[in-house]
Each structure stands twice: as structure tokens, then as C-alpha cells.
Amino acid sequence: MAKINIEEARKLAKLSRLEFSEDELKNFVAEFDKTLEQVATIEKVDVSKVSLIENTLKSDIELRSDIVEPSFTQKEILANAPEQKDGAFVVPITVE
Amino acid sequence: MDYLKCSLYEIRQMLENNEISSVELTKLCLDRINSTQNLNAIISTCEEQAIDAAKKCDQARKKGEKLGPLAGIPVVIKDNINLVGTKTTCASKFLENWISPFNATCAQKLIDAGAVIIGKANMDEFAMGSSTENSAFGVCRNPVNEDYVPGGSSGGSAATVASFQSFASLGTDTGGSIREPASFCGVVGLKPTYGRVSRFGVVAFASSLDQVGCFTRTVRDSAIMLNVLAGEDKKDMTSAKILVPDYEKSITGSVKGKKIGIAKQFFSDALNNEVRANIEKAIKLYEDNGAEIVDIDLPSLDTALAVYYIISSAEAASNLARFDGVKYGVRAKNFSDTVDLYFKSRTQGFGKEVKRRIMLGNYVLSSGYFDAFYRKAKKVQKIIRQEFETAFEKCDVIICPTTATVAFKLGEKCDDHLAMYLNDIYTVPVNIAGLPAISIPCGKVSNGLPVGMQLIAPHFKEETLFNFGDFYEKHAKEI
């Protein structure tokens, strides 16, 4: 059964764009092992004859036509911005 | 006359007969929300919008205009459903100031049907939880006994209906988040078939499992609500292009000749004895009234919880990747660069359970584990779905408890997330298979807390749930 060590947990946190203190990470590893024990119950199931379904219910998904319709105004979209300037979202400088 | 104690069906007739106006009724509900604030069922009210909608309804009624099926009736929606001009927080610090610029389709359908939306219900953050204790806006309490949890994640939606603040509410159900709180609070909770109700405008947790449904005080009310909510939506390509019947008319008053499937896997030793006794009495009632009991087998049921946590966490990790503090939501104050902005905003904005699920989701999706966990879980999902399909060749409906126990005390499972997860063992398989199910009140146990009975039907056979549910509701006093 899969288990996780603190290094893997640190890597996972980085992938998840989340920060944890060392203590939080240690607690997390202990909890995570218990969760993995639970999810490992699927190991015993024989799936050799099962082909993968990509969609739970429908095989006939239809896409709607690509027609231009009225949408949000710039003002509406920017209304929830944490920081905005001159009609744009403000982000830190990414290119020097 | 205590108008607040009426069912939706009854209050609709009273409004039609001008016994009470929608404005009067809306004010009564808003007052009730204020006087029962200790429950913390509601995150925010939309008083101004609600009174305005109620006034318009009253004026239209006076003029003799044709009104919608929910005209003038106060309802509440879960706070992960977008409603123009209101905060949609998902009970997260991350979205505490997010104001919806659009309506979710289900909210729009309520408005089009004339309903008066009076508030947004408390929930577990991003719908992750089974007790509504993971809310950034404080725990919600069970109206039956305030020392106990209302269930979750739609705990506020259940509590508002159970405490007579509103006549119906919307919730979302990814692994039991409507049925479990309905069971704990003693109300009716419907999780329709995946695809029956549009998810457009509902903040996604696990897109392939999420489904919008409703809480009501009677089964008939639930049918009235689904009549309004169901149907294809061009904005949600997973919504089903399948004819919507008149659900209210599906209530026939008879279960004679119908077949009830009983799976031993739903009645294992984990089931509380008092809960078991209540469910068995209900099954006997159906049998005494002409229904036939058939044994069915769902051998892979014990793997459903694992499948659920793998798939739902994987989808949650992907869905929640959009929360980065750039275009909306919380933005951390001090950061060194853009990537640091993501790290800090997400760390400050998300609660513990959400972080736990994002980490699990990214784990099962990461290279080296993808096949062993995610791909395998998708295959086991197919097996579970096939087992249900085989079972439904022998029966019209499956009956089981909604939960293995009644509501637990506030704080009791907070430190043991696995015990919390295990709470969903009877509800999760339904989402894994995309089936419709309803939880209806089924008596109480000795400490006075309600028991929920779960009825599960084949895909798009919600009519069966309403017919069986209504039958029990009407005859329950006979046992």
C-alpha cells in the first residue's frame, strides 16, 4: 500500500500551490497515510475486463454552436478584481 | 394561523386564495431568520431583492396575471449558487467578497417560476464536508437539537427548511450533501439524476458527480420543485436532453405490485440498531400494501467511498486551481512575485479540509499514481454502475438508510476526518452511479433525532422516488 513521506508531501504542497509549516506537514503526512489506507480498498478489485469510461452518463455530448452573444462588460468582470488599473487586472511584474 | 409551518403546496394555495400576500410571507420568513440566528443556517439574506420580488408578485396577482408555479414563495439557495448582485462565498474566506455578476440556471429557474429568494445558506467550504462545521462563517446547528450537527455539506439548506425560515431550499449533492443533512434535520432531500438539473453557475466541486437538488418539508413539495428545476440547459453540456415529466402527477397513491430491492450490503453491522429498526418497519409497510421485496446484490459497494474520494478530490484539485488571487477572491498582501502570490493567496484563502482534498487530488493525479488510483477508480466506478443496473433489472426502487447513524454532536468528528468521511457510505454510491435518490424522514430514535430513509431509482426515474416517498409519508403514522 502506498505511503507518503515528508519529502513527497512537500512536493505535493508545491504542486498544489499551498504553503504548510513543518508541523502542519508532519500532521498532514500522518492523516494522509490513513486516507490512503482507506482509498487503497480499490486495490482488491479486479478491473482487468473493464474498459475505461470517460463520461459517467452520456456518450452523445453535444457542443452548442459558436455564436457570438451578449456577454459581460469589462466593468462587470473587473468588479471582483482584488486590484485593477486602466481596465485591466493588476499582477506583479513577470518580465523585467 | 402559523403560515410558516405550512408546506410549499399549502402555502401556494393560501397565496392563490389571497389569505396572505407574498410581502407578508416574505417578511415573516425574514423575521424568522432573524429570531433563529443562533442556528447560523444563513450566510447572507437578500432582503431588498426579496421584498421587491414579493411586491411584484403581489401586484401581478392583483392584476390577474398568469403566475409561475412558485409565485411569491420564499426560498433559500446554497451559497455556492450564483445569484446576481449577492455574495456567493461557498463558505470560504477566499470568496468572502465575491459578488455574482450572473445567475446560475437553477437560480434563474426559481426566479422565472416566481419564487422569492430570501437568502444564501451556510455550507461546508466549497461543499467539502458532512457536518457544516467547515464553514468560514461559523458552524451551523441542527434545528432539532442545537448541540448536534445539521449534516453537510448543504447543512444550512436543510436547517432553513427544518426551522421554518423558508418553504424550500436548493442544495448540491456530490457524495450525499443533500440527503445526509435532510436525514439529520428531518426533512425531505432530493438528489436528482446526474444531468437532470443544470449545474451552470454552481461553483464546481467535482464536476462529474455534483448535482443540484432541493430540500422541502414534504415529498409532494419536492416534486413541485423538480418540475421547476429539471431540464436541458445549453450552458451545461452535461445536462440531459431527456423529456421532463410532470413529477407532481407521478404521485399515484399506490405501490401495489412494485418491487423493492434490498441489498444486504446496506444493512451491515455498521448500521445503528434503532435506525435499522425504523427502516425495516418502513419496508414492512410497503410490503403490507402490496409491494414485493426482492433481494439484490451490490458486491462492490464497500469500494464506493474510496472511488468517491479519489475522483472527487482529483476533480476538486483541478476545479480549485483557478483560485489564484488574480482576477477575483482573496489576494494576499505581501508577496515577492506572481507565483508567490498564488501560494500565499491560496494558503490564506482555503480552509484545512479544502487543502487536504486539493493535496489528495493532486496526489492521485500525479505521475506514478495516476493509473493506480485515478484510472483504477474510474474503472471501479463503471463496475459499481453496472451492479446497480443489474439490480434494477429486478426491482423498481432500492431502499436503505440514508446514514448509518443519526446526527452526531458538534465537534465529535472534527478531529477524525476519516470518521467524517465514513458518514457518507450509504449516499456516495448513488453519486458514483449517477442515480437519483431521495431521503425522507423515517421516524426518530430514542434521543429524539430523526432517521432518514433513502430511496434510489434508475436513471431519470425520479417519479418512482416521489410515488414511493409520498406513499410512506401518508401512511407512516400507521406504524
- Angle at CA of residue B80, ends B76 and B83, nearest 5°: 60
Point out the residue among B98, B195, B321 whose CB comes nearest to the CB of A57.
B195
Torsion of CA B207, A17, B132, B440, to 10 degrees: 20
For residue A96, the distance in angstroms to the closest alpha carbon of chain B comes to 12
Measured between beta carbons, which residues in chain A are less than 8 angstroms from residue B193? 57
Q: How far apart are CA B39 and CA B16, in angstroms?
A: 31
Residue B415 confidence (pLDDT): 78
Q: Flag whether A27 is in a domain.
A: yes
For residue A8, the distance in angstroms to the closest alpha carbon of chain B comes to 9
Active site residues of B: 78, 153, 177
Q: Flag whether A10 is in a domain.
A: yes
| Strand partners of residue A88 | A85
Average pLDDT, chain B: 96
Closest by CA position to B220, among listed B51, B479, B471: B471
Residue B471 confidence (pLDDT): 98
Q: How far apart are CA B143 and CA B63, in angstroms?
A: 39
Residue A95 confidence (pLDDT): 78
Q: Flag whether A36 is in a domain.
A: yes
Residue A40 confidence (pLDDT): 86
Residue A63 confidence (pLDDT): 75
The rounded percent of chain B whose pLDDT value lies above 90 is: 94
**pLDDT tens digits, one per residue of A59-86:** 566 777 889 988 899 999 999 999 999 9
What is the average pLDDT across B414-432? 86
Residue B419 confidence (pLDDT): 75
Instruction: Please give the full DSSP string across B31-54, using - where no structure is assigned.
Output: HHHHHTGGG--EEEE-HHHHHHHH
Q: Flag whether A23 is in a domain.
A: yes
CB contact under 8 A, A42 and B358: no
Chain B residue nearest residue A48, CA to CA = B379
- Residue B417's pLDDT band (boundaries 50, 70, 90)? confident
What is the average pLDDT across B3-21? 98
Q: Decide if pLDDT at B450 tops 60.
A: yes
CB contact under 8 A, B360 and A32: yes
Measured between beta carbons, which residues in chain B are less than 8 angstroms from residue A40? 306
Q: If contacts are CB pairs under 8 Å, which of residues 26-45 in chain B contact chain A?
A: none
Q: Decide if pLDDT at A57 tops 90.
A: no
* Domain housing A34: 6-44
Residue B472 confidence (pLDDT): 98
CATH architecture of the domain covering B3-250: Alpha-Beta Complex (3.90)
DSSP B295: E
Q: Per-domain residue ranges for chain B?
A: 3-250, 306-372
Residue A2 confidence (pLDDT): 67
Residue B359 near chain A (CB below 8 Å): yes
Measured between beta carbons, which residues in chain B are less than 8 angstroms from residue A77? 101, 327
Q: Decide if pLDDT at B478 tops 80.
A: no
**pLDDT tens digits, one per residue of B343-362:** 999 999 999 999 999 999 99
Question: Which of B96, B362, B381, B421 is the best residue to mutate to test the A interface, defined by the most A CB atoms within 10 Å of its own CB?
Answer: B362
- Angle at CA of residue B225, ends B220 and B230, nearest 5°: 125
Residue B329 confidence (pLDDT): 95
Point out the residue among B300, B321, B331 whose CB comes nearest to the CB of A82.
B331
Residue A59 confidence (pLDDT): 54
Q: How far apart are CA B245 and CA B11, in angstroms?
A: 24
Q: Which three cell numbers stand for residue B313?
A: 478530490
Residue A55 confidence (pLDDT): 54
Q: Decide if pLDDT at A45 tops 60.
A: yes
Q: Decide if pLDDT at A54 tops 60.
A: no
Q: Flag whether A24 is in a domain.
A: yes
Q: Decide if pLDDT at B215 tops 60.
A: yes
CB contact under 8 A, A50 and B369: no
Q: If contacts are CB pairs under 8 Å, which of residues 125-164 in chain B contact chain A?
A: none
What is the average pLDDT across B55-74? 98
Give me the phi and psi of A36, to 5 degrees please. -65, -35
DSSP element (H, E) containing B441 = strand B437-444
Count the neighbouring beta carbons within 10 Å of the beta carbon of residue B407. Answer: 28
| Domains in chain A, number | 1
Residue B60 buriedness (CB in 10 A; 0-12 / 13-18 / 19+): middle
- Residue B149's pLDDT band (boundaries 50, 70, 90)? very high
Closest by CA position to B286, among listed B398, B435, B427: B398
- Residue A7's pLDDT band (boundaries 50, 70, 90)? very high
Helix (H, G, I), strand (E, B), or coil: what is residue B197?
strand
Count the neighbouring beta carbons within 10 Å of the beta carbon of residue B31. Answer: 12
Residue B103 near chain A (CB below 8 Å): no
Closest by CA position to B96, among listed B86, B110, B109, B108: B86
Q: How far apart are CA B394 and CA B390, in angstroms?
A: 7
